[in-house]
Chains A and B, each alone.
Chain A
């Protein structure tokens, strides 16, 4: 990322009393969720000072391209930057880079002081946690060798890009979205890529069986070496003993690798929340309004665990979503809360992933489906799976089929339905068969 244009921290480290320093809202975590929260607050007329603070040494940037266009070298780092420096100045938002908050002291009224590892303190009248998630580390012999890499942030991506030139063989561990996207990108760069997945299928539970199988076949047809049900027993070092040279599988096979990239999921950052005594469980527990258990702190994005926002979901069901769309929608809800309004998460969750020439778009959440309809048009390279519960459409996985994706997303947003029987013919435009049948016409069976 370009360092030519730097944003200097505006809030001064606190000296003497708290009242002497600028307070207002402190947002810890300057990424998708934090940026959206700040931007939405200004759009709603919030006029207190906002400090958007993060521990990375980059201006706030977006992550999705890190495994796609940025890794492939088709876009430049400048394109990842969310907002120009002028924008932040004009909107009275101080962007603080490179400060890691290690402790927060908070009073019952919601105000307090956040302490950074550097010794700087940041007083606040209200706190927002948009601290995201970190890459899950792999615990196996040799995992700390040089050139064993992860891909969560810009520094990871820059390191991978810097080192990829020396490598011909790359082993990717983890058949989730990050692994598949990076594998496709690295394959495009001419690398010899092998992708290892511990489980029996790709992309865990994020998509249904049929979609996972479609991706498996599609990637294999494009020459990607994907091995399912494959366990890694250790990483072997090169002659220097410092850098990785191979991946040993549990059956004894050793795959050569000058780079190992691990993408085995993320862990929400909850340490600050725990230290604050907030309720935590697979993320920071928040209510429908993005407010944590202390009643004042808001938490948004990958770090937050919220009631399932999808209409008709089982009562009491909670989820933590890792997507741009969720960070954006939840941030809007939190912005309303901070301006004294109560607005629930109303959006339809959606997600995308680009892998080689495959564009996956997911609308809704398929949890609890009791019926699927597959629309497959191999001639045109299109594939969609529609998910139903009690006859009502609840989600769709769409590959190279934006029309299907849009039709389902719009139907879900307007509480309409796409009858399963009529949807089976891939030549039928879903938009034309969308009906007004009410959503929760049939209560979900069981829980």
Chain B
């Protein structure tokens, strides 16, 4: 079972067990992890599931679509090089380390 390690903007870490095939967003929302709003429920329409991904996790994640890339320009906290929308990050077997921005809206 992969674990998703969420660090919030204040540095608090939450470790949540996720299921293979679920997204990082789903794992967060189902367990009430603050810092992920995900209004559109993973439909790639809201950009309120923004996360910063730890560099060494990049390779295991699915590549970014053009639509995700465009949506990332509308996040509440400006995107950085390691920004992703967590609804697009499906868990394979490995742990994922992400940081949530200070606000999503």
The interface of chain A, by Cβ under 8 A from chain B, is 39, 43, 62, 64-65, 68-69, 75, 79-84, 86-87, 90-91, 324-325, 328, 347, 350, 352, 354, 359, 361, 400, 402-403, 405-407, 409-410, 431
Q: Which of B31, B42, B105 contacts A79 (CB 8 A)?
A: B42
A359-B67, A402-B67 in contact; A87/B30 too (CB < 8 A)? yes
Q: Which of B29, B32, B43, B105 contacts A352 (CB 8 A)?
A: B43
Residue of B nearest to A408 (CB): B74
A79-B22, A402-B71, A406-B71 in contact; A359/B32 too (CB < 8 A)? no
A83-B29, A359-B67 in contact; A406/B73 too (CB < 8 A)? yes
The interface of chain B, by Cβ under 8 A from chain A, is 22, 26, 29-32, 34, 39-47, 67, 70-71, 73-74, 105
Given contacts A87-B30, A361-B45, 8 further A-B contacts (CB under 8 A): A65-B41, A65-B43, A68-B43, A69-B43, A90-B32, A91-B32, A402-B47, A402-B74
Q: A359–B47 Cα gap in the complex (Å)? A: 14
Contact A324 B74 (CB under 8 A): no
A410 contacts which chain B residues (CB < 8 A)?
A: 74
A82-B29, A87-B31, A359-B67 in contact; A354/B43 too (CB < 8 A)? yes
Contact B32 A64 (CB under 8 A): no
Residue of A nearest to B76 (CB): A410
Q: A83–B22 Cα gap in the complex (Å)? A: 14
Contact A324 B47 (CB under 8 A): no
Q: A359–B32 Cα gap in the complex (Å)? A: 28
8 shortest A-B CB distances, which residue pairs? A406-B74, A352-B45, A402-B70, A84-B30, A402-B71, A62-B41, A87-B32, A403-B70
Q: A406–B105 Cα gap in the complex (Å)? A: 12
Contact A324 B26 (CB under 8 A): no
User: In this complex, which of A65, A400, A406 has the most chain B Cβ atoms within 10 angstroms of its Cβ?
Assistant: A406
Q: List 14 A-B contacts (CB under 8 A).
A: A75-B42, A79-B26, A81-B30, A83-B32, A91-B32, A328-B39, A347-B105, A350-B46, A352-B40, A352-B43, A359-B67, A402-B67, A406-B47, A406-B71
User: In this complex, which of B39, B43, B45, B67 has the most chain A Cβ atoms within 10 angstroms of its Cβ?
Assistant: B45
Contact A64 B43 (CB under 8 A): yes
Residue of A nearest to B70 (CB): A402
A406 contacts which chain B residues (CB < 8 A)?
A: 47, 70-71, 73-74
Q: A88–B78 Cα gap in the complex (Å)? A: 33
A84-B31, A87-B30, A87-B32 in contact; A409/B42 too (CB < 8 A)? no
How far, in Å, is B32 (CB) from chain A's closest CB? 5
Q: A79–B90 Cα gap in the complex (Å)? A: 12
Q: A39–B37 Cα gap in the complex (Å)? A: 11
Q: A398–B23 Cα gap in the complex (Å)? A: 26
Contact A324 B67 (CB under 8 A): no
A64 contacts which chain B residues (CB < 8 A)?
A: 40-41, 43
How far, in Å, is A377 (CB) from chain B's closest CB? 13
How far, in Å, is A53 (CB) from chain B's closest CB? 20
Contact B31 A324 (CB under 8 A): no
